[in-house]
Amino acid sequence: MFSHRKSRRGALAVTACLSLAASLGACGLDSGGGEGEGGDDEIVIGVSLPLTGDFSEPGKGVQRGYEAWADYVNENGGLLGKDVRLEILDDQSSADRVASDYEKLINQDKVDLVFGPFSTRLVVPAAQVAQDYGFLFVEPAGAAEEVFTQGFDNLFYAAPAIADDHYNLLAEQIIAMPEGERPKTAAYATMDDPFAQGTAYGLKDKLEAAGVTTVADEVYPPNTTDFSSIAAKVADSKADIVVGGTQYQDAVNLIVALQQLNFQPKMAAFSTAPTNPEFPEAIGSKTEGILSPTGYTPDAKYPENQEFVEFYTEKNGTPPSEDEANAWTTGEVVAAAVEDAECADPSQECQQKLIDFLREATVDTVVGPLSWDAEGRPESAHLIQQYVDGEIRIVLPEDQAEAEFIAVKPQW
Amino acid sequence: MSGSLLLQSIILGLLLGGLYALLAAGLTLYFGVMRVVMIAHSAFLVLAAYLAWYFQRETGLDPLLSLLVTVPLFFVVGFTMQRLLLARLRPATLTMMSVLLTFAIALTIEGLLGYFFSGTQRRIQLDYSGSSIEFFGANIAVVKMIAFALAAVALLGLWALMKLTRFGQALRATIQHPEAARLLGINTDRIAGFGFGLGLATAAIGGTALSLDSTIYPSLHWHWIGPLMAIIVIGGLGSIPGAAIAAMVLGVSQSLLQVPLGTTWAQTVFYIALFATLMVRPQGFFGGRLAQRF
């Protein structure tokens, strides 16, 4: 496969040379008064996104985020004084297409920088191409552990935390509670899915280390429709805290099944579903005290975020959601590197400078300050939200909190 | 396993079995009357569940009231479907072709549901969704009891119809020996149409019962068709009491096995039972001669 890639790259290089030769004259004419090597007065950023196919919904969200970011930068004096232009291709949610798209962007279109696509499935092949050419690769979607175990040294995930760390702030909060109030037993129910399971087991490891006993640990296949037996086992364990490694449908079904058994844990935390606007519609009034980690909320008080929400809402008519925010964050991270390195071109020196900067840096973004480990895992934490007075509010960390953390959940 | 968990699991299993029995009843009826493998049965269940959800959302009334519309509607749709589509298939290849035809119908229903209601997961929000009644330390959810009661009423009604009415007699005659029934002056074509309509009417009730306590989405029917097929084969094709008993046994087994084995393995009970049945008694445990004709 590697030799195939090399030969394809060779062919592309020939094509690129020919097209470059044909356009050199025009370039020369254009760059009369310009500065720098390229001599042009804009920075071109190449992106491939799943605008059609399986991931088209989130893909379009990421596109809206990237475009809003570019508009914002251009309205505020540009990057290094130059305008930013996005070159967006559609990879149709295909892993083969995404690799050749980035080959084309780098080789043929001669983009100055690249941004990542959406979904782990597309991030991995795209990052491989960027790595081959020595490009910095900041990506908005690829939380699964496999993204960070491929040996990429150019990759950075522009979000607060990978799946295993989503519940970190909750873990800290629980561990810091006085001995008498801290939950002693925990029950886990999680979908057989790397992302959902990662969230619950990340918390399980931390709580077990702190002495919270696991009294139930249920894993169910993604197509499970009947949750009453799982709920019966969780209820029978009489756990103080129940933790769901869940997506949408399973969380809703599990919560209702637990309510039907009149099981009243002191704490209940479920990933993904509670932050979905449909969630309170499905559960009704019995949401009080339910906890959930979230990567982004328009309500977060970081100054960058307030500016983002205002700009985005004015442009699009609706506040941004997580996909748009992650895309915007990607833009912010790359821009910080460009401004520090004072360069934005495809040369090895420049790209390496950008990568080296991010290895050490902490960048202020709409999801809070971000820094990364050697494999590109972000080292922040997800916010923890909780239903307080019928509304989902940020309760952790304390400096972002909109409401006080409720340690003992009201009956549901 | 603690005593209360055992009791709880048995109760949950019985309630689940009741729902399975209702959902499988129509399926075994189609088989019995006209050797039709109705892949679209569970798609109609999901359709009925969506109609109940839509009815509740638009009117704010209890979703059970939607039955007044959906039961007659599904009966007519079933009758029409049998007369216009299934009756035209050649008898020699009926069983196989009915799989293809009803597969296409299932895909059409799924597509239309996605088109009109989107792929978003929906759930009926009832005041009593989370309510339950305590019974010797076990909790019985109100919605599950309602679903079970619906299943019991529908199945008893179906049984009474089959046993006590002239129509039921004609239907049973058509199932047992179509040629002899025709010789006795029974219009077997029309009876087959009514039988199909009846099967689909049970789907309307089953789907509404399902919607009370499940999140629904257009492709949900694929998760149901496998277990339901297993139930009617184990019960014996064409036997409604067989389907009901098999459904109860499998519902309780699934619920009890869940405790030591976990969800993933408990679900395989249907397929293990199916294989065992096909090896030991291929005609099913109650169907008798009928299944041997295939």
Q: For every residue of chain A, which 3-state class applies, written as one string?
A: CHHHHHHHHHHHHHHHHHHHHHHHHHHHHHCCCCCCCCCCCEEEEEEEECCCCCCHHHHHHHHHHHHHHHHHHHHCCCECCEEEEEEEEECCCCHHHHHHHHHHHHHCCCCCEEECCCCHHHHHHHHHHHHHCCCCEEECCCCCHHHHHCCCCCEEECCCCCHHHCCHHHHHHHHCCCCCCCCCEEEEEEECCHHHHHHHHHHHHHHHHCCCEEEEEEEECCCCCCCHHHHHHHHHHCCCEEEEECCHHHHHHHHHHHHHCCCCCCEEEECCHHHCCCHHHHHCCCCCCCEEEECCCCCCCCHHHHHHHHHHHHHHCCCCCHHHHHHHHHHHHHHHHHHHHCCCCCCHHHHHHHHHHHHHCCEEECCEEECECCCCCECCCCEEEEEECCEEEEEECHHHCCCCCCCCCCCC
- Residue A98's alpha-carbon distances to A53, A62, A154, in angstroms, are 13, 15, 17
User: Does the structure show a pLDDT above 90 at A67?
Assistant: yes
Q: Is B151 on the interface with A (CB under 8 A)?
A: no
CB atoms within 10 A of CB B260: 9
Residues of A with Cβ-Cβ distance to B265 under 8 angstroms: none
- A:B CB pairs within 8 Å: 97
User: Does the structure show a pLDDT above 50 at A14?
Assistant: no
Instruction: Please tell me which residue, A282 or A10, carries the higher pLDDT value.
Output: A282
Q: Which of A229, A235, A256 sits opposite B129 (nearest CB)?
A: A256
Instruction: Please tell me which residue, B173 or A351, carries the higher pLDDT value.
Output: A351
Which residue of chain A comes nearest to B9, CA vs CA? A229
Across the beta sheet with A83-90, the strand order is: A83-90, A42-49, A113-114
Query: What long-range pairs does B70-74 form, CB within 8 A, spacing at least 24?
Result: B70/B204, B70/B207, B70/B208, B71/B201, B71/B204, B71/B205, B72/B201, B73/B204, B74/B44, B74/B48, B74/B197, B74/B200, B74/B201, B74/B203, B74/B204
Residue B195, H or E segment: helix B188-212
Residues A251 and A274: beta-carbon distance below 8 Å: yes
Cβ-defined contact of B129 to A224 (cutoff 8 Å): no
User: What pLDDT does A84 receive?
Assistant: 95
Q: What does the alpha-carbon distance between residue B276 and residue B269 come to, in Å, rounded to a whole number?
A: 10
Q: Residues A223, A225, A229, A233: is their CA dihedral positive or negative?
A: positive
The tens place of each residue's pLDDT in chain B, 294 residues long, gives: 678 889 999 999 999 999 999 999 888 888 877 788 899 999 999 999 999 999 999 998 999 999 999 999 999 999 999 999 988 888 888 888 999 999 999 999 999 998 898 877 888 888 888 888 888 888 888 999 999 999 999 999 988 888 899 988 888 888 778 888 889 888 888 888 999 999 999 999 999 999 998 889 888 998 899 899 999 889 888 788 888 999 999 999 999 998 888 888 888 888 899 999 888 888 888 765 544 443
Residues B94 and B294: beta-carbon distance below 8 Å: no
Q: What does the alpha-carbon distance between residue A174 and residue B50 come to, in Å, rounded to a whole number?
A: 41
User: Does the structure show a pLDDT above 80 at A38?
Assistant: no
User: Does the structure show a pLDDT above 80 at A25?
Assistant: no
Confidence of residue A21 (pLDDT cuts 50, 70, 90): very low
CA distance, residue B206 to nearest chain A CA (Å): 15
Q: What does the alpha-carbon distance between residue B213 and residue B235 come to, in Å, rounded to a whole number?
A: 26
User: Span A297-317, mean pLDDT?
Assistant: 91
User: What pLDDT does B59 receive?
Assistant: 92
Q: What does the alpha-carbon distance between residue A59 and residue A67 come to, in Å, rounded to a whole number?
A: 12
User: What pLDDT does A22 receive?
Assistant: 42
- Residue B262's alpha-carbon distances to A93, B256, B268, in angstroms, are 34, 10, 11
In our burial notation (b when 16+ CB lie closer than 10 A, e otherwise), range A324-349 reads: bbbbbbbbbbbbbbbebbebbbbeee
A198 phi and psi, to 5 degrees? -55, -45
User: Does the structure show a pLDDT above 60 at A39?
Assistant: no
Which residues have a Cβ under 8 Å from the Cβ of B134 and sit 6 or more positions away? A262, B140
B7 phi and psi, to 5 degrees? -60, -45
Q: N- to C-terminal Cα distance for chain A? A: 56
CA nearest B26: which of B65, B81, B100, B93? B81
Residues B175 and B169: beta-carbon distance below 8 Å: no
Residues of A with Cβ-Cβ distance to B127 under 8 angstroms: 284
Q: What is the pLDDT of residues A77-95, one digit of tens each?
A: 999 999 999 999 999 888 8
A298 phi and psi, to 5 degrees? -60, -15
Q: What does the alpha-carbon distance between residue B147 and residue A192 come to, in Å, rounded to a whole number?
A: 29
User: What pLDDT does A23 receive?
Assistant: 42
Task: Provide residues of A within 8 Å CB-CB of chain B.
Answer: 192, 218-221, 223-226, 228-230, 232-233, 235-236, 248-249, 252-253, 256-257, 259-262, 278, 281-284, 286, 412
CA distance, residue A280 to nearest chain B CA (Å): 10
Question: ipTM higher than 0.90?
Answer: no
Confidence of residue A17 (pLDDT cuts 50, 70, 90): very low
Which residue of chain A comes nearest to B124, CA vs CA? A282
What tokens appear for B231 in the block?
């139930």
Q: What is the pLDDT of residues A360-376, one digit of tens each?
A: 999 999 998 999 999 99
- pTM here is 0.79
CA distance, residue B155 to nearest chain A CA (Å): 22
Confidence of residue A58 (pLDDT cuts 50, 70, 90): confident
CA distance, residue B288 to nearest chain A CA (Å): 32
B39 phi and psi, to 5 degrees? -65, -25
Q: What is the pLDDT of residues A113-163, one digit of tens each?
A: 999 998 878 899 999 999 999 999 999 988 778 889 999 999 999 999 888
Task: Tell me how many degrees the CA angle B263-B268-B274 measures, rounded to the nearest 5.
Answer: 155
User: What pLDDT does B287 receive?
Assistant: 64
Residues of A with Cβ-Cβ distance to B139 under 8 angstroms: 260-262
Cis peptide before A397 (omega within 30 of 0): yes
Task: For helices B221-235 and B269-280, give the axis angle rounded to 10 degrees.
Answer: 30
- Residue A74's alpha-carbon distances to A38, A43, A44, A290, in angstroms, are 19, 11, 12, 41
Q: Is B280 on the interface with A (CB under 8 A)?
A: no
